Structure 1
């Protein structure tokens, strides 16, 4: 049996249709009227409150092949899919089984992890669900995303209750924040470490906050925007460096008796930041990569091995970090009104995507409020 929300509002029934952004191919996203999906016994239906727009959404909109200059590399977004993976919403209808299994009630605000793991592949069986082999994700492949008024949450989705009293676009920031915290966990930061974070966008700011919570000796933030560097200070950076005007490598070496940083977290997605990180690190330092790149990065790999014996790690999604991200958002310790810099209605979805894709646009986190 499917249960409809009773709530406290004037209406207890749902409309028949909803507005949604649909991918028809690269640079062909359309706002359409679609039937509202009906949840099965093990599914939830949420009314979307907010959905963030990230660099991967921009990459998919333009087509990954276009960004890479390689027509054999497919675009990430599946045609016919509704994009949007950073979202928060309220449960308005559900199968009784879904509510019971998740200990939820109608009217509960939830967020969902981006990945919808298959629970059957090698990685899922080993508990490494975020590397699921089929890799079905909200808004990219397999499952519709949240650039719509309503979203169907499948039984395999990983769901977390969200704080009810913070703005919706702040709650939707749980997705990029959990990703940033996962990168910090990968770095295994120690108390005496000097940590450098490259890039003060949404992921970088989350990395700064996460790194600061580990109590290292110093957190250094790098960016080309003075405004974003000011935000970095509010998120916990001890020192900021504008790489457009200052020599970050020399500054860090001067701070560390010539040795270099212990940890480098890369969040710019710019190829030059990769070489910067390898050169800014001390011997036996740790490099963690978490970015969406638009072009390939070429580096001298002898720095990694023969010169410094670096630990070079990747980070993907935000496994096991969602509760911490939600607690951090609820604590009001982050300057969320400044981080969540721009909001658009659903009709302005293309303006939102273009703003995220414009480095000179002055945005930090852009959100759509359906």
Structure 2
């Protein structure tokens, strides 16, 4: 066991636009807990929304985000210390490369007790709740005894390892879509998650995969990853084009990963009657639509997709077998001290996945 003590460098969130790089104590681990040295932490769209004060994180007298807290829920690292019983429980040793599900489940609620840990009623997500779920924008990070920890195999590159969390989320979303060979699938949004989903949808070999995005660089990547047709809604009428490609019926499956309200209303218009609409995005503001489209007009299957239950091993295996890639998706890396620049870059058209590397 490595006896680590003293201080470490970390980004600490105190409130909207009040994030600071500080020297904080290295986490102390207890029974069945694991300490890792963080190798990389991705900047998620939700991190950026939290930084700029989105109501979904900060609203009310008891906001969901519990500050002060170290942010960061897309991570991987190397085991440096194992608490009593952790080596046996998680089958780990010092030096192993690992990651963990972004949720730190309570293990006690009805969802955890029935295997549905990703919907844990307590719902502590690493990087959003102080003390119980400190994140990975730091030199070291602690996994709890209830964490879902996964070893990363040798064939997975560092870039791929940093993309396991988004790929896991993408896998769950595509699983929720139940894509069939004869389906025309529309993937709305070709950011990090969309580009991961495109690779996975292509492995499902649907009849046609159509990708929508307003960023031409991302559409080029979508084509490379398996899209049959790419549409820029700023340049042409996406609904009209999809209808034309489907004899006027609309697509069979629509996956929403734009994070923009127009992604919802556009999708409800272009999906066919009895189609499947999969909602993944986290929205920064309220989205409204005519709900009669869902029931009275089209009888749609509306399915949400949350987190990445049981998908990390699948993501690791797909990377290991080179069936999916991080190439071109991870675009920028920054030091912890430059986190503000990293958050700003994450919103720029030339960036896709931005990493912090302690």
The equivalent position to 2:222 in structure 1, one of 232, 244, 247, is 232
Count of aligned pairs between the two proteins: 356
Q: Hey, what's the Cα distance between the residues in 2 that align with 1:21 and 1:191?
A: 46
TM normalised by structure 2 equals: 0.95
Q: Residue 94 of structure 1 corresponds to which residue in structure 2?
A: 82
Matches within 5 A, 1:1-370: 3-4=1-2, 14=4, 16-65=6-55, 71-72=59-60, 75-141=63-129, 142-356=132-346, 358=347, 360-370=348-358
Structure 1: runs of 5+ lacking an equivalent:
5-12
Structure 2 residue matching 1:110: 3-state secondary structure: strand
Deviation at 1:237, TM superposition (A): 1.1
Q: Hey, what's the Cα distance between the residues in 2 that align with 1:167 and 1:346?
A: 21
Structure 2 residue matching 1:160: 3-state secondary structure: strand
Shift of the 149–238 alpha-carbon distance from structure 1 to 2, 3 Å rule, reads same
Deviates more, 1:160-169 or 1:22-31: 160-169
8 Å CA contact 1:200, 1:228 repeated in 2: yes
Structure 1 residue matching 2:352: 3-state secondary structure: coil
Structure 2 residue matching 1:130: 3-state secondary structure: helix
Structure 2: runs of 5+ lacking an equivalent:
none
Q: Hey, what's the Cα distance between the residues in 1 that align with 2:278 and 2:248?
A: 21
Structure 1 residue matching 2:296: 3-state secondary structure: helix
Q: Hey, what's the Cα distance between the residues in 2 that align with 1:330 and 1:341?
A: 21
Q: Hey, what's the Cα distance between the residues in 2 that align with 1:107 and 1:96?
A: 17
Deviation at 1:333, TM superposition (A): 4.1
Q: Hey, what's the Cα distance between the residues in 2 that align with 1:99 and 1:280?
A: 51
8 Å CA contact 1:63, 1:75 repeated in 2: no
**How big is each residue's C-alpha offset from its partner over 1:232-263, in whole Å with a ceiling of 9 and x where there is no partner?**
11222111111110111111111111111000
Deviation at 1:72, TM superposition (A): 3.4
List structure 1 runs of 4+ shifted beyond 6 angstroms: none
Q: Hey, what's the Cα distance between the residues in 1 that align with 2:332 and 2:199?
A: 21
Structure 2 residue matching 1:221: 3-state secondary structure: strand
8 Å CA contact 1:163, 1:171 repeated in 2: no
**How big is each residue's C-alpha offset from its partner over 1:79-102, in whole Å with a ceiling of 9 and x where there is no partner?**
121000000000011124101111
Structure 2 residue matching 1:341: 3-state secondary structure: strand
Deviation at 1:303, TM superposition (A): 1.0
Deviation at 1:53, TM superposition (A): 0.5
TM normalised by structure 1 equals: 0.92
8 Å CA contact 1:169, 1:369 repeated in 2: no
